[in-house]
């Protein structure tokens, strides 16, 4: 049996017959909101730990790759293997920065409001996620 009292076969049928791929996630989330605080805390902690662990592993790998690439490019430029058009690079970076700021000013307030509303409506799950996230970061 699952949270909603349905068998796994019933849930599999619902998932297969559903047109919206997120409908199963939404149904599970609605059932989870009705569950006990302990269950919400556990689900939040497990998902937070997973997210923190993956982020720490990916971040470390990405940092090493980006840093190594930056060093190799500078070494190649210094030895004359490549030539960098600094004016063009700075122009492109300025354009990217302007585009980022436009999108940030439009989308960030909405995203912040959604996150605040979710944390307020799901305080137990959000606190479990936060604790699990920090544990995941530290255990990676």
pLDDT in tens, 70-83: 999 999 999 999 99
pTM of the model: 0.63
What pLDDT does residue 97 have?
94
CA distance 57 to 139: 10
Please indicate, yes or no, if residue 21 is contained in any of the structural domains.
no
Please indicate, yes or no, if residue 23 is contained in any of the structural domains.
no
Please indicate, yes or no, if residue 25 is contained in any of the structural domains.
no
Please indicate, yes or no, if residue 108 is contained in any of the structural domains.
yes
pLDDT at 64 over 90: yes
Please indicate, yes or no, if residue 85 is contained in any of the structural domains.
yes
pLDDT digits (tens, 9 = 90+) for 86-101: 899 999 999 999 999 9
Q: What is the span of the domain harbouring residue 88? A: 35-139
What pLDDT does residue 3 have?
55
What's the total number of domains in the chain?
A: 1
Please indicate, yes or no, if residue 19 is contained in any of the structural domains.
no
CA distance 25 to 3: 13
Please indicate, yes or no, if residue 92 is contained in any of the structural domains.
yes
Please indicate, yes or no, if residue 20 is contained in any of the structural domains.
no
CA distance 9 to 7: 5
Q: How confident is the model at residue 128 (pLDDT cuts 50, 70, 90)?
A: very high
- Reduced to 3 states (helix: H, G, I; strand: E, B; else coil), residue 45 is helix
């Amino acid at each position: 049996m699952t949270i909603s009292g349905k068998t796994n076969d019933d849930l599999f049928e619902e998932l297969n017959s559903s047109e919206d791929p997120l409908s199963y996630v939404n149904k599970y989330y609605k059932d989870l909101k009705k569950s006990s605080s302990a269950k919400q805390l556990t689900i939040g902690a497990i998902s937070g730990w997973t997210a923190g662990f993956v982020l720490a592993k990916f971040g470390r790998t990405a940092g090493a790759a980006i840093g190594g690439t930056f060093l190799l490019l500078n070494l190649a430029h210094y030895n004359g293997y490549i030539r960098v058009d600094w004016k063009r690079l700075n122009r492109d970076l300025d354009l990217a920065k302007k585009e980022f700021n436009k999108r940030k000013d439009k989308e960030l307030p909405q995203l912040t409001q959604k996150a605040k509303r979710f944390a307020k409506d799901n305080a137990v799950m959000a606190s479990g996620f936060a604790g699990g996230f920090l544990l995941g970061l530290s255990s990676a």
